[in-house]
Amino acid sequence: MKFRVNDEWRELDASPTKSLLDVLRDDLFLTGTKRGCDSGECGACTVIMNGKAVNACLVLATELDGSEITTIEGLGRSVDKLHPLQKAFIEKGAVQCGFCTPGIIMTAKAFLDMNPKPTEEEVRDAISGNLCRCTGYSKIVNAILAGAEEVGRLKH
């Protein structure tokens, strides 16, 4: 199969029952995508596939051919070029243990691509499939709203 990951074409032979999560972590060594529940319940493995946030643990390798995948590594290529969401998470203190952070940021990125000026309620609804065991989500929501403002400024 041939697909794009973080703007690079990749070609790979993989078992059809292998998950996108396993392909990313084991074959492509993109370990920013985290393995949580392995059943699509926690959102830790969220990536963007063809413009939509998906749980990588639920996508089979057979679905990858021709797809466009963006992982957390594809957002900010270096510390001085972080995506506005990544910067906002740091600035707003929205990261504690950090395990859920890549999945939440990828969910938020896909959401903001479709809704660049969300309300707090819309943000809370958008990330409802992402579980964080460390926080009450307030700092996470504030970071997403701040990231949305920054993305809006950059587009103008």
Task: Assign residue 7 the CATH number of its domain.
Answer: 3.10.20.30
Q: What does the block give as tokens for 67?
A: 């797809």
One domain, residues 83 and 136: yes
Among 74, 104, 130, residue at a domain's last position: 74
Using one digit for the tens of pLDDT, what is the confidence trace for 87-97? 999 999 999 89
One domain, residues 84 and 108: yes
Residue 79: band (very low, low, confident or very high) from pLDDT cuts 50, 70, 90: low
CATH number of the domain that 83 lies in?
1.10.150.120
Entry field: residues in the chain: 156
How many distinct structural domains can be found in the chain? 2
> Distance between alpha carbon 118 and the CA centroid of its chain, in Å?
18
Residue 151 pLDDT: 78
Residue 16 pLDDT: 86
One domain, residues 85 and 137: yes
One domain, residues 89 and 145: yes
One domain, residues 50 and 64: yes
- Domain extent, residue 52, equals 2-74
DSSP characters over 75-137: T-SSGGG--HHHHHHHHTT--SS-SSHHHHHHHHHHHHHH-SS--HHHHHHHTTT---SS--S
Using one digit for the tens of pLDDT, what is the confidence trace for 24-61? 999 999 999 999 999 999 999 999 999 999 999 999 99
Beta bridge partners of 46: 55
One domain, residues 118 and 102: yes
Q: From CA 143, how far away is CA 95, in angstroms rounded?
A: 10
In this structure, how many other beta carbons lie within 10 angstroms of the beta carbon of residue 3? Answer: 21
